Amino acid sequence: MPLVGAEKRKRTTGAKYGDVDDAVYMWYQQKRSAGIPVRGVELQAAAERFAQCFGRTDFKASTGWLFRFRNRHAIGNQKVWGEQALSSASENVEPFRQNLYMLIKEEKLSVAQLYSGDETDLFWKSMPENIQASRKEICLPGRKINKERLSALLCANADGTHKLKSIVIGKSKLPKSVKEDTSTLPVIYKPSKDVWFTRELFSEWFFQNFVPEVRHFQLNVLGFHEEDVRATLLLDSSPVHPSTESLTSEDGRIKCMFFPHNTSTLIQPMHQGVILSCKRLYRWKQLEESLVIFEESDDEQDRRQKGVSKIKIYNIKSAVFNWAKSWDEVKQITIANAWENLLYKKEPEYDLQGLEDGDYREILEKCGELESTLADDRVWINGDDEEKGSSPKPKSGITKEVIQKGGGDEEQTAEFQLSAVRERLDYLLDFVDATPEFQRFHFTLKEMQQEIIKKQFQSRIHSRIGSFLKPRPCIVKDSFNMPSTSSN
């Protein structure tokens, strides 16, 4: 059904705690006038202080509050190129909205035919500073482990019924065990020295992935006729995006439209809680996989060593699969709500149940991490968006970057002793057999056990053959150690 009359739905929402909101904004302006950058975690801390002063005991500086505060006052993360004068950008929003309404009417587009996409950074191995593993010096020398970055593109339509496979860019190649069959990956993975998108890469994604996937969705899922297939993809005005003329399908029915400069924080749907939800789901999965639930008998040294071991095992393959799973779990309603501001001038609802800053304390405390604070958690959770200079700033004329098919550092594949793997697998099978709720995994583990045993025998045979074929060492007399054969 075409999306018409969208401009008729309007609602103006003010701040529930107006005194707190005004005080925080005045404090923010003072800081910015002095040239001091202000992060989201600092806005939340200031809001909590002012709420105490005003006696607002029921106030919570939640992630939803932070997003609404930033939208009301046109405050961005100042990470995206050129978005430092956001307050003056709001006047460009309404003309763009009217142009979009006209396009919707002319093309007779439905909400399922409107798409939005955006790139984001992910420090995929970052962990809270005050966990036990982080306090062990050998774990994070120079904190380099916290700065390993991926770039990702998320794209979906306006009613959330079609989420495209995410494209992920990393510095290193995938492990050998993965790169042999990249078609099985839940993302489109590309290695790049700069870990960022280029015009060539984005154009490749548009024509090879976006256009055919949109056609398939509308023909096979929505049941549209061929002549009704069309779509408009809304994008930021970024140097890594080719022109709208370049990003158009051959029949002209699938095209792009750019947001005005400096307006992504205000009306870009992906910035209205979609990317946020995906990242927070990822952080939850990362914590579950990286942290250890310690035994009561473990001393502090044991806990640190186990924690370090777990974090080091967490690799780019784990990150890619967790990112894809997180994107899959972003709710349809979350994506649909993200379009409320752009299409209906309505403040979007942020459904972050279970993903608020304080919710991560639950898993941290279960793992015995009691010394990290809520402020530490906030810095870690929001670090991707507020890290200064995390994304490379393009030069005026974008230099052509070649995605190195053979370049980059290949992630090392860990070597395992088959005997140790067999021992742990046997232990796991004993646990499964003794625990009714896990017995459904018995046959899967049994098949794995048989494969390990087979591999052990093959390894044994190869080692014996190798010993037969190994050349005998040449015996050389040592003039200093060999007894003399000459007579005196």
Q: Kindly report, residue by residue over 189-229, the tens digit of the pLDDT.
A: 998 888 889 999 999 999 999 999 999 999 999 999 999 99
Does position 64 have pLDDT exceeding 80, yes or no? no
258 falls within a domain: yes
State whether 94 and 84 are in the same domain: no
| CA–CA–CA angle 360, 364, 370 (5° rounding) | 120
CB 116 within 8 A of CB 234: yes
Identify whether residues 154 and 250 lie together within a single domain.
Answer: yes
Burial classification of residue 378, based on how many CB atoms lie within 10 Å of its CB (0-12 exposed, 13-18 middle, 19 or more buried): buried
Last residue of a domain, which of 64, 88, 112?
A: 88
Q: Are 146 and 126 in contact (CB under 8 A)?
A: yes
pLDDT at 310: 65
Report the distance separating Cα 281 and Cα 260, nearest Å: 30
- Beta sheet of 188-191, edge-to-edge order: 188-191, 167-170, 149-157, 114-123, 231-235, 254-258
Residue 448 domain flag: yes
In this model, does residue 432 exceed pLDDT 70?
yes
Confidence (pLDDT) at 297: 55
Of 39, 55, 88, the residue that ends a domain is 88
Q: Closest Cα partner for 386 from 51, 49, 75, 50?
A: 75
> If we measure between CA atoms, which residue out of 164, 151, 168 comes closest to residue 80?
151
Is residue 475 included in any domain, yes or no? no
Is residue 70 in a domain?
yes
Query: Does residue 2 belong to any structural domain of this protein?
Result: no
Report if pTM > 0.95: no
When pLDDT is averaged across residues 268-278 and rounded to a whole number, the result is: 93
Contacting residues for 3 by C-beta, under 8 A, at least 6 apart = 104, 109, 110, 111, 114, 158, 343
Supply the range of the domain harboring residue 462: 418-466
User: What's the domain count of the chain?
Assistant: 3
Supply the CATH number for residue 55's domain. 1.10.10.60
- pLDDT greater at residue 362 or residue 6: 362
- Asked, for residue 480, whether it belongs to a domain, the answer is no
- Whether residues 350 and 447 share a domain: the answer is no
Q: Tokens standing for 417? A: 């002793």
Q: What percent of the chain has pLDDT over 70?
A: 68
Same domain, 282 and 305: yes
235 shares its domain with 210:
yes
- Asked whether residue 81 falls in the same domain as residue 200, the answer is no
Partnered with residue 163 across adjacent β-strands are 156
Q: Of 88, 120, 146, which closes a domain?
A: 88
167's tokens: 């494209």
Q: Which residues contact 129 (CB under 8 A, 6 or more apart)?
A: 372, 376, 379, 380
User: What are the CB-based long-range contacts (under 8 Å, 24+) for 42-48?
Assistant: 43/69, 43/70, 44/357, 44/378, 45/375, 47/20
Query: What pLDDT score does 139 carry?
Result: 45
- Judgement on whether residues 151 and 190 belong to the same structural domain of the protein: yes
Please tell me whether residues 237 and 133 are part of one structural domain: yes
> Do 294 and 237 share a structural domain?
yes
Query: What's residue 352's pLDDT?
Result: 73
User: Does 400 reside within a domain?
Assistant: no
Residue 487 inside a domain? The answer is: no
Whether 73 and 209 share a structural domain: no
Based on the domain organization, do 259 and 282 belong to the same domain? yes
Helix and strand element counts for the chain (H, E) = 19, 6
Mark whether 304 and 425 lie in a shared domain: no
